[in-house]
Amino acid sequence: MHLSIQKIDKNFGKRAILNGGHFELSTGEIVGLFGRNGSGKSTLMKILFGTMRATTSSVYLDTVPFDPATSITRKLIAYLPQHSMLPSDLKVRDLIPLVIANGEAQNRVFYSPGVASFDNQRVGALSIGQLKYLEFLLVAYLDHPFLMLDEPFSMIDPLYHQIIKEVIRSLRESKGILVTDHYYENVWQVTNRNYMLVDGSVVTIESKEELIKHGYLPSRA
């Protein structure tokens, strides 16, 4: 499947957060999205997921016009937001089958490194790192052709970073994955194409030198 974003504009009052720019995402690839704080990365993902309306947009799914605000989006795009989305009163072991229907995918979560150490705890008792890791696994193993990951490495024990990268790589054949994180090296290591939001527009990035050129990285990086 192929998702083509021809144009997305988003204004908050008189302030333009996104103002056009073209990018694409297909199943079978991992695409990085870089940008400084406030550049509109999360806004872009929320618009594509349908929880925020664009001021104007032009999006296509396999050449057919596509409105992210429609209910079909929930069947196509799985989204990991920055903030927790899970009910706090359920035990982890009870929550997993509620979120994921497929038994094989459930086992992938249950048997992921580290999950056994907290699967008998309630979600509300988890540390921030455990919660983020669990949310990543739940979203990653949903049966959706597209996956958007907003800060999957942040606030997680660095010991889990390699596991997360391995999971992302393992999903490439079946999904189109869009990922953004301030741990830019982790993003760079898993992607095969990259974009950056610069002054609200999407710019193609071919090298780390371009991240320096556009002010994302300091010149000494």
Q: What is the 3-state secondary structure (H, E, C) of 121-184?
A: CEHHHCCHHHHHHHHHHHHHCCCCCEEEEECCCCCCCHHHHHHHHHHHHHCCCCCEEEEECCCH
pTM, two decimals, is: 0.93
Q: Other C-beta atoms within 10 Å of 14: how many?
A: 5
Is residue 75 very low, low, confident or very high in pLDDT (cuts 50, 70, 90)?
confident
pLDDT grade for 83, boundaries at 50, 70 and 90:
confident
Tell me: the pLDDT tens digits for 158-196?
Answer: 889 999 999 999 999 999 999 999 999 999 999 999 999
Q: What is the pLDDT of residue 189?
A: 97
The Cα–Cα gap between 196 and 58 comes to: 19
Q: Which residues contact 104 (CB under 8 A, 6 or more apart)?
A: none
| End-to-end alpha carbon distance in the chain | 36
Can you tell me which residue has the tokens 């010991």? 159
Domains of the chain: 2-213 (3.40.50.300)
Mean per-residue pLDDT over the chain, rounded:
92
